[in-house]
Amino acid sequence: MNAKKLRKHFPNASIKENEPLSKYTYTKTGGPADVLIFPKTKEEVQGLVKWLYEQNWPVTILGNASNLIVKDGGIRGAVIILTDMNQIVVKDNSIRVLTGAPLIEVSKRAYQSSLTGLEFACGIPGSIGGAVYMNAGAYGGEVREVIRKVTVLTRDGEMFERTNEEMEFSYRHSKLQETDEIALEVVFELTEGDPETIKEKMDELTYLRTSKQPLEYPSCGSVFKRPTGYFTGKLIQDAGLQGLKWGGAQVSTKHAGFIVNIDNATATDYIELIEHIKEVILDKDGVQLETEVKIIGEDHPAFIGANDTLIKKATSSFKAKLETIMPLTEEN
Ligand SMILES: Cc1cc2nc3c(=O)[nH]c(=O)nc-3n(C[C@H](O)[C@H](O)[C@H](O)COP(=O)(O)OP(=O)(O)OC[C@H]3O[C@@H](n4cnc5c(N)ncnc54)[C@H](O)[C@@H]3O)c2cc1C
């Protein structure tokens, strides 16, 4: 991999080498990207992706990095962050947006244009691309309900449009998670609404969010997907795990589905705590939790096993707690 060659080929591109991704992730953790590139247009992304594909460079796409844990060893190859590609154009009832634009900003623009349908998204801190990839949603709404079409790019540089149906949206899922295509532009289809009613809804949801979520700390939002028939937060609370500290990470005392960075946490702290929670809930309730947050990158050798004592301590303190709820027998 040769960053010099990349700069020579794209002299106008904004490129940083060996850039710590903890500067960009919402958890404030994660190792460096070999190169981090900040394109501003669809065509620039297409040119980069095509060239990097021909060079055999691995390419990772980031939006606002609010649903990601980047491992402490960082990411090899090229990382393309789309946050500078953020144009928003409102025309009649539709909004055409480049996918680096913040979802919160698009929701605000809809309100300012008296368009209803994106109120639910007023506090989701992702980019439009991340929201499409994840089919982001909150308070009964999901982006799939208001997307008309998405312009996507294949990893070898072919650009084309997908209709809403072709995106195969479902709970926290879109087709992009299988195809690895990159979302470049989205057209939202909204309906005319009363600005006061829209504003009231957004204020109500903002109140709910700020009163229930630990927004005062870095985090990656809800760590786990909602398992059918259960509430993750309640499972974690009932297992006595709320407030558990793991290195610099902690299961939030305000919302048990969040893990917050309270004291210079590493990605390893996050990942080990996630694994511990999964193990405990599987043992206690027989429920296999699945992460909503995406974990990417490479481990850092210096951090592997750093928390072994913590693991042992937490496991034995959990067993002690569990015995008070449910006496341990040979079967459990
Ligand atoms: C405090 C807090 C509250 C949150 N609340 C909610 C909530 O209410 N509802 C909800 O759904 N989520 C919530 N989230 C999670 C997160 O904001 C969403 O999942 C969001 O959609 C992720 O967007 P992003 O741009 O940050 O994606 P990133 O974290 O940058 O990336 C997530 C994944 O999407 C991929 N990706 C990003 N952009 C593109 C693109 N253009 N094309 C293809 N792939 C792409 C990445 O490769 C990665 O795999 C919350 C997070 C935080 C920190």
Together in a domain, 199 and 106:
yes
* Residue pLDDT, tens place only, 174-188: 999 999 999 999 999
- Is residue 201 included in any domain, yes or no? yes
Provide the pLDDT for residue 275: 97
Mutation test of ligand 1: which of 29, 41, 61, 67 has the most ligand atoms closer than 8 Å to its C-beta?
67
Residues marked as catalytic: 172, 222, 292
Residue 275 lies in a domain: yes
Per-residue pLDDT averaged across 200-206, rounded? 98
Regarding predicted confidence, which is higher, 8 or 328? 8
Asked if the model's pLDDT at residue 327 lies above 50, the reply is no
Q: Which residues of 156-192 are buried (b: 16+ CB within 10 A; e: fewer)?
A: ebebeebebeebbbeebbbbbeeeebbbbbbbbbbee
Distance 172 CA to ligand 1 centre (A): 10
From the CA of 117, how far away is ligand 1's center (Å)?
Answer: 19
Domain check: are 168 and 274 in the same one? no
Question: What does DSSP assign to residue 306?
Answer: T
Measure 246 CA to ligand 1 centroid, in angstroms: 24
Atom nearest to 296 CA in ligand 1? 49
Whether residue 14 is contained in a domain is answered as: yes
Q: At 160, which helix (H) or strand (E)?
A: strand 159-163
257 part of a folded domain: yes
302 pLDDT more than 90: no
pTM above 0.85? Answer: yes
Sign of the Cα pseudo-torsion (257, 263, 264, 266, in order): negative
pLDDT tens by residue, 65-105: 999 999 999 999 999 999 999 999 999 999 999 999 999 99
% the chain with pLDDT above 90: 89
CB atoms within 10 A of CB 120: 21
Residues 73 and 101 in one domain: no
Residue 325 has pLDDT above 50, yes or no: no
| More reliable by pLDDT, 324 or 282 | 282
Which of the four pLDDT bands, split at 50, 70 and 90, describes residue 24?
A: very high
* Domain span at 200: 88-212
Pairing, β 32-37 against β 75-81: parallel
Same domain? For 57 and 124 the reply is no
278-292, pLDDT tens digit by residue? 999 999 999 999 999
- pLDDT per residue as tens digits for the range 134-177: 999 999 999 999 999 999 999 999 999 999 999 999 999 999 99
Q: Given this model, what pLDDT does residue 329 score?
A: 45
Q: Does 206 share its domain with 93?
A: yes
- Shared domain check, 96 and 63: no
Q: Which residues does ligand 1 sit against, CB inside 6 Å? A: 26, 61-68, 82, 99, 124-127, 129-131, 133-134, 136-138, 176, 182-183, 213, 215, 219-221, 294
Q: Are residues 61 and 125 in the same domain?
A: no
Q: Residue 69 belongs to a domain with what CATH number?
A: 3.30.43.10
Distance from Cα 173 to the centre of ligand 1, integer Å: 11
Report the number of distinct structural domains present in the chain: 3
Identify the pLDDT of residue 323.
55
Identify whether 7 is part of a domain: yes
Last residue of a domain, one of 21, 54, 81: 81
Residue 291 pLDDT: 97
CATH of residue 196? 3.30.465.10
- Are residues 50 and 130 located together in one domain of the fold? no
Q: Whose CA is nearest to atom 15 of ligand 1?
A: 67
- Of 81, 112, 129, the position where a domain reaches its end is 81
CB atoms < 10 A from the CB of 21, how many? 26
